[in-house]
């Protein structure tokens, strides 16, 4: 498991993330209709929805799964018994087969039981749900609304004898069968548009956009900068408020797993006989030295479109220019020029990525500041290995821009 899992009630701010997770979870699932995300969106507005059972699983401060329930009933002649139905439930593909969905289902079933609900009826995978106690609804004399039974239609009594004497057809909210396909397709289209506020842009892998995960006001990241892991802030160390230093990262940066940003709080006093920090340890009689006595090196600033290789370490106060590449395991203690490559411990200049003309064109062009649709148009230019052709096209693009 990547981090400790927290199960908690869903908040309105979680809804968009839950819908995307459900969309991704069902995208390749057998028997999926493709309407699951639209159903999740619509379900919260119907009277049958049970908000007390709207829960998420969270890891490293990020929602990775969601579950929802609604009221239904078993109707037999003049008799009617209230029940629940479960779903949709979805787990981020990268977190599947790790017990996340099972934990969420068990937790919410316990709450449903405590709330006094009688039973849960579902249309689900017959090889998955029996582990929670679900069995063929036919065993309880319950059929679908059409009077049918099949292995995927299952029931779970929430307490002993809960379904004794209950016989009839299961009736659920019409929202489950009345979704408009065109509306669903239009809703799903949003998941194909690059969104800098989505946490998981590559749902099958634990890759996160940094900006929407940030909680520390002294860390700033631009749109679409990603980290090949979760909980980016855990990789920013010795970052103490009283120093006031910031980590500022531009747009479209690519930060590999294991990268660490060491901030100014790691520095010890170096202009005295000892570097030992008595003042931070219990029992020692030393006041904290003023910041002027500490080697504070200012903000750490990373430009745009910077690629930082796996397990690299960025030391306090470093400035890395646009388009630079930092080699894996590098320890960067000095500034790095735009569009240059550094590697090693300590990191040393390897070479320029491009000649001065192309570097100047890219610095003037600043493609990362353009609107998403314009970047989409320019992808063939930005990814073309023929750099002479790239120069010519950049010059033409710059000519089109209004002066000033």
Two tokens at 306? 């910077």
- 125 an active-site residue? no
Q: Catalytic residue among 41, 107, 125, 268, which? A: 268
**Which of the residues are catalytic?**
268
């Amino acid at each position: 498991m990547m981090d400790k899992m927290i199960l908690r009630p869903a908040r309105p701010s979680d809804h968009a993330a839950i819908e995307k997770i459900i969309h991704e979870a069902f995208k390749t699932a057998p028997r999926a209709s493709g309407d699951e995300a639209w159903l999740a969106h619509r379900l919260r507005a119907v009277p049958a929805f049970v908000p007390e059972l709207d829960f998420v699983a969270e890891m490293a401060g990020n929602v990775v799964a969601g579950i929802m329930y609604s009221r239904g009933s078993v109707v037999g002649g003049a008799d009617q018994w209230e029940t629940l139905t479960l779903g949709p439930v979805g787990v981020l593909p990268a977190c599947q087969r790790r017990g996340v969905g099972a934990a969420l289902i068990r937790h919410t079933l316990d709450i449903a039981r405590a709330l006094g609900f009688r039973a849960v009826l579902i249309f689900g995978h017959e090889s998955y749900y029996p582990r929670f106690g679900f069995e063929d609804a036919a065993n309880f004399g319950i059929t679908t609304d059409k009077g049918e039974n099949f292995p995927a239609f299952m029931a779970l009594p929430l307490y002993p004898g809960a379904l004794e004497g209950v016989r009839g057809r299961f009736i659920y909210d019409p929202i489950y069968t009345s979704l408009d396909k065109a509306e669903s397709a239009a809703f799903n289209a949003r998941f194909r548009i690059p969104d800098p506020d989505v946490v998981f842009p590559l749902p099958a892998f634990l890759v996160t956009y940094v900006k929407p995960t940030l909680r520390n006001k002294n860390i700033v990241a631009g749109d679409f900068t990603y980290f090949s892991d979760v909980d980016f802030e855990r990789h920013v160390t010795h970052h103490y408020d009283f120093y006031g230093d910031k980590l500022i990262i531009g747009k479209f940066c690519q930060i590999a797993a294991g990268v660490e940003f060491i901030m100014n709080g790691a520095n010890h006093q170096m202009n005295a006989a000892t570097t030992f920090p008595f003042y931070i340890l219990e029992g020692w009689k030393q006041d904290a030295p003023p910041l002027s006595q500490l080697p504070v090196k200012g903000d750490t600033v990373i430009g745009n479109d910077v690629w930082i290789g796996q397990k690299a370490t960025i030391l306090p106060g470093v400035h890395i220019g646009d388009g630079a590449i930092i080699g894996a395991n590098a320890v960067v203690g000095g500034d790095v020029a735009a569009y240059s490559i550094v590697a090693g411990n300590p990191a040393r200049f390897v070479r320029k990525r491009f000649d001065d003309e192309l570097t100047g064109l890219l610095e003037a062009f600043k493609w990362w500041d353009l609107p998403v649709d314009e970047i989409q148009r320019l992808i063939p230019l930005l990814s073309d290995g023929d750099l002479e052709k790239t120069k010519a096209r950049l010059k033409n693009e710059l000519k089109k821009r209004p002066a000033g």
